[in-house]
Every structure is written in structure tokens, then in C-alpha cells.
Amino acid sequence: MDFKLTEEQLEIKSAVREFCLKEFTPELAMECDREEKFPWDLHRKAARLGFVGIHFPEEYGGGGYGVLENVLVVEEMCRVDSTLGTAIMLGDFACDLILRHGTEEQKERWLPKVARGEAVSAGAFTEPARGSDITKMDTTAVKEGDEWVINGTKTLISNATIASFFITLCQTNPEAEPTYRGQSLIIVERETPGVDVTKIGGKLGIRSSPTGEVSFSDVRVPEENLLGELNRGFYHSLYFFDESRIEIAAQAVGIAQGALDRALKYAKEREAFGRKIAEFQAISHKLADMATKVEAARLLTYKAAWVVDHGKLDPMLASMAKTYAGRIAVEVADEAIQIFGGYGYIGEYEVERFYRDAKITEIYEGTREIQKNTIARYLVGR
């Protein structure tokens, strides 16, 4: 065993941290949160420094690192700022599907511009009527000549309003039983006629990451936009989620660590009844609990990432990391507000925003309940 990051990994972490401390100002974060604005500038700068798609191979503009290094980048970004960190982290959402299943041509066409920060990607799985259940899709793709004709609606799609393309899960064989054996992934460019995007505003948290509804009316895409195997889209998606939820776990670890950092700093400075509040056992034991949870969540997340980098994806472990890290992010942010007292409730003290941003990690890319179904399935199967 070896529980230490390498020198190089620590350098990546501190480079990301340095960048974020300089660029992620609280004022900018509050503005992007208030106005629901994507931080294009920061995204491009982060990409130039290699922090977007650090785990893409170098030939596609990435850093050639592994999932663990991507986890470190995400963790540090979200630690410095939960709102801006999340927005940038989601900038390459679903590109792993192209990495894993794309043709050489698809990889060359889509990945470098995302890694360079010139484009943002999106994955369109969720439908209005189905939520976490993607075993059947109302969005259909029908082959006509050498084109696919897509009709349907996707909702709660991250980056919907800014993405250059949507990796869309469609029903390609409506007769298949079970239905999920007739699904395929198709890449749809945003400018294709018939694609219509509506922003969904007023989110509780991660307001700097735009969310929207995407509808497809007789959208025609060339057949070479099929991603991966025909009618294997469901399986490709599941595999993708098993991996991508490690990134959400990292987001949660970062948010929790960021809330803890702020609570610690405040507890050492703030005085009440003639002493620093950190000297009260009720506060110091809260901090101890928070730190223990962060450490445990980090270990689960690093292990899940490490396992993937060693070619042995363990869906149970990835789900454990995501469930636990998501839960403790909410708990730690909650306790951070408690330590700040009344000020914690006010935007300028930041923990309020961390608290709002934390909750999504228990919901998207498979709710906590879906994760537990996965964990239980593997447990019972052993």
C-alpha cells in the first residue's frame, strides 16, 4: 500500500490552488452566482494551464494524466470556490464518452477544442418524464438514408445554453425488449436546425453552471455522428457514469474541504464570551467531525480513481465514494454555517454558497438512492 500522492501530483494540486486563489475572487464568484453567469474567461485560462481535460491523452490536447489527477484538479478548484470550480469542472462533461467510444475522427474533431477551452460539451440523458431512470427513452432517432432524424426533449442538461454539442441518448430501436437494448448515443451539434435550447434558471446552487432544456424537432445528423456501437448506448452510458461519478465525488470532497477551511479560519479568529470560539469544545468537536469526514471521503474518492487508473473499474466503490462524499459535503457545509452563526447565513461569508452548491452532488449523475441500489446490487452479488 502507499497512501501518499507523488511529488508530481502534489505539484498539480498546488498549481491548481495557486491559479484558483489568484483568479477565483469572492466578488466574481458572487457575481456569477447572482447572475447565473458562466465564467468563460476563467474557463479559457484554466484550459490554457491544462486543467480542463487533464486526463485526455496529449494527442487530443489533454495532459495525458489519469482519473486521479483529474480528481485532484476538481477537488482543488471546488475547494477554493464551489461555484466557479463546479462550472469549470463541468466544462468537459461527457467527453469521456468520446474518449472511450469515439472513432479517431470524432476524437480529433471534438476533444481538442474542449481541452483548449474553446468549446464546452454536454451530455443529454435525462428526460422530463424519467429522471434517473434511463432504461427507456422518449427521445427517438430514426435512420433515414445516411442520416439520423431525432425527435424528443431532454431536461436538466448541464451546459445546455453554452455547449457546442450534445451527446444525446436516443431510442434507436423502439421494439427492443428490454428497452435499454435499443438505445444509442448520437452527437448533435448545437447549430443543427431543429435544436432548441431553453435556459432553466433559479437553481438553488451551482448557478454559474448553466442548465437547460434541449428539444429536438426533426433534427438531422449524419450517420457518422453515432457514438460507439448502435443499440449499446445504454451500456456505454452506464459505464460512463460509473467513472464520471468519481469526479462528482471529487467535487464534493473539494466543497467539504473548502467549507472546513473557512470554518477553521473563522473559529480561530472569532471571539465570544472572552475567548476564541475554537476553544469551546462544542465547536472544536464539530471541526474534528468535519475533518474526519473529509479525510474519509477523500480516501474513498482517491481509491475509486486509483482503481480506474489501474484498469479495474469498481462501480460499487465509485458509488460509495459519490454517496459518502456527497452526503458529507452537505453535512460539513451545514456545520460550517453553524460555526459562523448568523454571518454564515449571509452571502459574503461564502459558506452559505458552499451549502447551496453542495446539495447537487447528492442528486446529479445518479441520486444517492440510485447509488445505494448499485452498491447493494454488487454487495448481494458477491
Name the residues annotated as catalytic: 365
Nearest distance from residue 370's CB to other proteins, in Å?
A: 11
Q: Distance between CA atoms of 314 and 316, rounded to whole angstroms?
A: 5
- List Cβ neighbours of 230 (8 Å cut-off, separation of 6 or more): 172, 184
Q: Distance between CA atoms of 302 and 249, rounded to whole angstroms?
A: 9
Are 76 and 254 a contacting pair, CB within 8 Å? yes
User: Which region among 75-83, 158-166, 357-365, 373-381 touches other proteins (by CB under 8 A)?
Assistant: 373-381
The one among 51, 302, 340, 354 contacting other proteins by CB under 8 A: 302
Distances (CA, A) of 32 to 64, 304, 309: 31, 32, 34
Buried b (16+ CB within 10 A) or exposed e, 346-381: eeebbbbbbbbbbbbbbbbbbebebbeebbeeeeee
The one among 4, 27, 193, 311 contacting other proteins by CB under 8 A: 4
Q: With CB under 8 A as the rule, give the number of residues binding other proteins.
A: 49
The verdict on 246 binding other proteins (CB under 8 A) reads no
Radius of gyration over every alpha carbon of the chain, rounded to an integer in angstroms:
21
- Phi, psi angles (nearest 5°) of residue 21: -60, -30
Q: Distance between CA atoms of 247 and 261, rounded to whole angstroms?
A: 21
The verdict on 26 binding other proteins (CB under 8 A) reads no
Please state whether 146 falls in left (phi above 0), alpha (psi between -120 and 50) or beta: alpha
Residue 382: name the closest of 323, 314, 319 by CA.
Answer: 314
- What single-letter amino acid sits at 189? E
The one among 90, 287, 339, 360 contacting other proteins by CB under 8 A: 287
Nearest distance from residue 248's CB to other proteins, in Å?
A: 15
User: Which region among 53-61, 112-120, 302-310, 353-361 touches other proteins (by CB under 8 A)?
Assistant: 302-310
Q: CB-wise, 9 or 164, nearer to other proteins?
A: 9
Nearest distance from residue 253's CB to other proteins, in Å?
A: 12
User: Which region among 2-10, 80-88, 145-153, 171-179 touches other proteins (by CB under 8 A)?
Assistant: 2-10
Q: CB-wise, 207 or 303, nearer to other proteins?
A: 303
Are 333 and 255 a contacting pair, CB within 8 Å? yes
Nearest distance from residue 282's CB to other proteins, in Å?
A: 11
Q: CB-wise, 207 or 286, nearer to other proteins?
A: 286
8-state DSSP, 127: -
Distances (CA, A) of 21 to 34, 179, 248, 258, 313: 20, 48, 21, 12, 33
Nearest distance from residue 37's CB to other proteins, in Å?
A: 29
User: Which region among 5-13, 51-59, 123-131, 347-355 touches other proteins (by CB under 8 A)?
Assistant: 5-13
The verdict on 297 binding other proteins (CB under 8 A) reads yes
Nearest distance from residue 55's CB to other proteins, in Å?
A: 15
Give me the 256-285 binding string for other proteins, x by CB under 8 A, dash otherwise.
-----x--xx-xx---------x--x--xx
Q: Distance between CA atoms of 245 and 260, rounded to whole angstroms?
A: 22
Q: CB-wise, 54 or 185, nearer to other proteins?
A: 54
* DSSP class per residue in 24-55: --HHHHHHHHHHT---HHHHHHHHHTT-SSTT
Tell me how crowded residue 16 is: count the other CB atoms within 10 A of its CB: 25
The verdict on 375 binding other proteins (CB under 8 A) reads yes
Cell of 316: 460499487
The verdict on 31 binding other proteins (CB under 8 A) reads no
Residues 309-368 within binding reach of other proteins (CB under 8 A): 316-317, 320, 323-324
The verdict on 5 binding other proteins (CB under 8 A) reads yes
Residues 68-87 within binding reach of other proteins (CB under 8 A): 68
Binding-site ranges for other proteins (CB under 8 A):
1-11, 68, 261, 264-265, 267-268, 278, 281, 284-285, 287-289, 291-292, 295-297, 299-300, 302-303, 306-307, 316-317, 320, 323-324, 369, 371-373, 375-377, 379-380
